[in-house]
Structure 1
Amino acid sequence: MKKIFLLLAIVLLASCRKELERINKNPNEPTTVQPDYLLSNGIKANVDTYWGPDAAMDGSLLYVQYWSKIQYTDADRYIAGAAGTQTVWSNFYAQGIEDFTTLAQLGDSLHNPNYKAVAIIMRSWIFQQLTDLYGDIPYKQAGQIASYLTPVYDSQKDVYTGLLTELKGAVATLTPGSNNIDGDILLGGDITRWRQFANGLRLRIALRIADRDNATAKAVFDEVTAAGTAALLPKDAVVKLNYLASPNQNPVGRNRETRNDYRISKSIVDKLKALNDPRLSIYATVPKDTNVIIGVTNGLPSDSAARLGFSKTSDAGAVFTATTAPAVLFSYTEQQFILAEAAQRGLTAGTAATLYNQAVTASFVQYGLAENVALAYLAQPGVLYDAVNFKKSIGEQKWLALFGQGIEAFTEWRRLDYPQLTPAYAGALGGKMPLRFKYPSSEQSLNGANYKAAVARQGADLLTTKLWFDVY
């Protein structure tokens, strides 16, 4: 009899639980993620991370000496905050890799290959940012937390080659003219432009590995260029996120609403002035108390920097700091620099000097300057393309052109070794410059075995450890 009562109690409890679950369901809350919302949020959140304070403003923009600090100068002296490093890692994985992995799966279940392909392209872009910053990272097992709570770190070589394969597949999957996608706040649902963006990323990564694996790099250039010019961005096209008014403003603009401790670096101001570069007045502001653009030396002690005066030194220009200033992910300018270097290296056809001139001209046009202004600029001895030292010509002009794109410029500076920058004045690295980001402390405590294996393979978890792609 007791067994019967016990069985009845279990049945009643189960019935009550089901009834409670039914009653407590919110009819206004969807149980299935909508792909358009996931795409919009994924783009915005991850471009915010890429353009925001931790990856850019207190990191790569300082390391590559686009910006400097006039207050709270620890970050400019290479004293990296643990919270910032953690935020970049966590945001890219939790708000990026996870979300776009889910969107790729939704693309399959909805029988819409364009959602899947776009998700793979954005996920690949995020993985590229992560490996560019940290080196070896969780890749193959990432985004599958149900199966891999502590994912293995893959070597940077494997990450890059894996991304090349994924991007190639995404390009083949995209179907312009059918399978429309909604929620695309980056490219407005233009599938042809997504294909061109993906091909641009393939060329970017191929050049990353060229010093290590020239044969694979050449194969990528052969594949992409064989598809013709339609496979690449057309003249003056830019892949960018156009920000709106608050609360959807540029993270740099949001930062400027409450802070004023960043300035343009003296390094880039000096270079622009030396070349009579008209982009100077676009990249920098004129201080209120002077009539001259003045940059700040990177890595000054806080007291020395503060004495320079907030109203006597130049901030970055409004094209980067305004509320609605766009965040650039890839551009025709960068594409032509890539093709110029590839031509010089024999990775693709074309005349390196011509492609270099196109890249510099495109940078001028990107910031509202006329082509004839660029032609006069290119005629200067300090700007003329030098095939003997192409890394200097391309490295310096690419550095000037990518102003604002901190992670990409930081990576290209490490790869090309130009421009030749002076370490922070009071830097904390013994006269050296950062070459990567350190892994977040959470990885040591939560994924310790895989973290230790990565460090043993790659080298000490220090800012000064060279990454695999950085050969010279």
Structure 2
Amino acid sequence: MYKNIFNLLVLLITLSFTACKKNLAEINRNPNAVEDPQPDYLLTAAEKIAADTYWGADNNFNSSLLIIQHWAKIQYTEPDRYIFSNSSFTALWNTGYAQVITNLNTIIQFPEEKANTNYKAVATILRSWIFQLLTDAYGAIPYKESGKIKQTLTPVYDSQKDVYFGLLDELKSAATALNPAAGSVSGDVLYGGSLASWKKFAGALRLRIALRIADREPEKAKQVISELTADPALLISSNAEIAQQAYDKPPLQNPVAAWFSTRDDYRVGKTIIDKLYALNDPRLVVFADKPTDPSVTSYVGVPSGLTNSDANNLGFAKTSKPGLTFFRSDANPAVIISYAEVLFAKAEAVARGLLTGDAADLYKQAITASFNQYQIKDNAVISNYLNQPSVVYNPANYKKSIGEQKWIALYGQGLEAFAEWRRLDYPQLTAGASGVLDGKIPVRFIYPGTEQSLNGDNYKAAVAAQGTDNLLTKLWFDVN
């Protein structure tokens, strides 16, 4: 009898626990979550969020654009003086993982009948770009276990080398998988569903990563570059094929324009304005506007790393804002990879002996592509520029020639310009006037503080292998 009573109690407790679990599941369900997410909506959201993250304030003009001295601050100058904390660099990490990669992983994990092979390939290519941005900025990052929430909430960090090698494989496989017969891709605001364009985007990313690893793994870099340059269908080959997010209709709004519509705390850096003046560079009128004070008739840049008072004393009306037409207009696109970048990469590959060709000619083509990108198409103007002794390609120091011109061509793309400056060591920048790093310039982002508290063991292991988690620890790709 007692045994029967015991069994009855166990059954009642079990039923009660099951009911509680069901009720808790109902209570914890997000009423605003999409019950049946569709791949086209997820892709649109991922592309928009990714472009905004790349082009927007936290990762671009309030950090990397300041470090690379394309821009400077005219007020609230602490970031320009390298006063950062582990909460300063959370946006790229949190947005990259929690929003962009999560959306893309959802597409990749959909069954075939819900998301065809092309959706999955496109999602993989876009996700690879985000992983590339993350490892470029922080170094070791969660990669192989990233997004596998059902398996672990504390993903292991992969070394930067392993991330780059993994991305090269993923991009190659994704580009190969793209097939018009597999179905169309909707919701693509980056390339309008053009699979050929996505294949070239994937190739351009592989070329970019191949040069990231070239100082460490030249044979692997050469193998990748040889594959890419053997087939014209694998690389961006004109300005019409630039990877860029167009901001041409609501709610797509250029983050730079949105910022300047309500705030006025950034100016063009004196470093780049002085360089453009020294080279008689016609891109100056594109990159900057003249001060609004009519008494000032030239372009005036703000020195990097000034104190608040010194910056304020220069005068808001007497210093140059970023150019309106290409940078502060609502419709200005967020450039992700340009044709000029691809040509500079080819020139460098030749200079390194990783590719056969004419480095000087490719270098000229790259500069010309950059000019054309900004609607500077006068052949005489371009020829005069290219023939200046200060611009002519120097084979004895290709890093200086390519590094300085690529730095100019990447104007506005803070994260990429930051990575290339660290890799090529040109231009040779001087730390901000009132910088707090003893005359040094940051060479990485600090991990978000939440990693120490939420993924502490893996964070500690990554730091032990990579080096102290501070602004001056060089990453694996940055060998000089």
* TM-score of the alignment, normalized to the shorter chain, above 0.5: yes
Q: Out of 322, 342, 364, which is 1:316 matched to?
A: 322
Matches within 5 A, 1:14-53: 31-53=35-57
Are 2:306 and 1:303 aligned?
no
User: Could you give the per-residue CA deviations for residues 429-472 of structure 1, whole angstroms, max 9, x where no partner exists?
Assistant: 01000000001110111111111111111111110111100011
Asked whether the equivalents of residues 68 and 298 of structure 1 are also in contact (C-alpha less than 8 Å), the reply is yes
Q: Confirm or deny: 8 A CA contact 1:246 1:323 kept in the other structure.
A: no
Q: Does 1:420 align with 2:428?
A: yes
Distance 2:256 2:99 in 1: 19
Aligned to 2:471: 463
Equivalent AA in structure 1 for residue 127 of structure 2: R
For the residues of structure 2 that align with 1:352 and 1:211, how far apart are their CA atoms?
18
Task: Select 2:354's aligned residue among 344, 347, 350.
Answer: 347
Instruction: Give the equivalent residue in structure 2 for 1:63.
Output: 67
**Structure 2, unaligned runs of 5 or more:** none
Q: Is the 8 A contact 2:189 2:245 kept in 1?
A: yes
Identity between Structure 1 and Structure 2 (%): 54
Tell me the amino acid that sits aligned with residue 171 of structure 1. Answer: A
1:142 aligns with 2:136: no
Could you tell me which residue of structure 2 aligns to residue 158 of structure 1? Answer: 162
Within 5 Å, give how 1:1-400 maps onto structure 2: 31-106=35-110, 108=112, 110=114, 112-176=116-180, 178-226=182-230, 228-236=231-239, 237-244=241-248, 247-289=251-293, 290-318=296-324, 319-372=326-379, 373-400=381-408
**CA 134–143 in structure 1, closer or farther in 2 if over 3 Å, else same:** same
Could you report, residue by residue, the CA deviation over 1:51-76 in whole angstroms, capped at 9, with x for unpaired residues? 11111011110000000001000000
Q: How far did residue 115 of structure 1 move?
A: 0.6
Structure 2 distance, partners of 1:145, 1:437, is 25
Whether the 8 Å contact between 2:116 and 2:182 is mirrored in structure 1 is: no
Do 1:54 and 1:85's aligned partners in 2 also have CA atoms closer than 8 Å?
Answer: yes
Q: CA RMSD in A?
A: 2.5
Q: Deviations over 1:10-67 (max 9, x none)?
A: 8799799989999x99999852210000000001111111111111011110000000
Q: Is the 8 A contact 1:136 1:153 kept in 2?
A: yes
C-alpha displacement at 1:261, in angstroms? 0.4
| Count of equivalent residues | 471
Q: Distance in 1 between matches of 2:17 and 2:211?
A: 63
CA distance in structure 1 between the partners assigned to 2:114 and 2:248 by the alignment: 30
Determine if contact 2:277/2:284 at 8 Å carries over to the other structure: yes
Asked whether the 8 Å contact 2:226–2:355 carries over to 1, the reply is yes
1:416–1:10 Cα change, 3 Å: closer
Identify if the C-alpha distance between structure 1 residues 10 and 461 changes in structure 2 by more than 3 Å, giving closer, same or farther. Answer: closer
What is the CA distance between 1:248 and its match in structure 2?
Answer: 2.5
1:240 aligned counterpart, secondary structure: strand
CA contact (8 A) 1:89 1:440 kept: yes
Are residues 168 and 308 of structure 1, via their aligned partners in 2, closer, same or farther at CA, if it must alter by over 3 Å? same
Q: Tell me the distance in 1 between the aligned counterparts of 2:447 and 2:29.
A: 41
C-alpha deviations, 1:245-266, integer Å up to 9, x for none?
5543111111112110000000
Segments ≥4 residues shifted beyond 4 Å? 1-22, 24-30
TM-score relative to the length of structure 2: 0.93
Distance 2:238 2:43 in 1: 27
Unaligned runs of 5+ in 1: none
Q: Tell me if structure 2 keeps the 8 A contact 1:361–1:371.
A: no
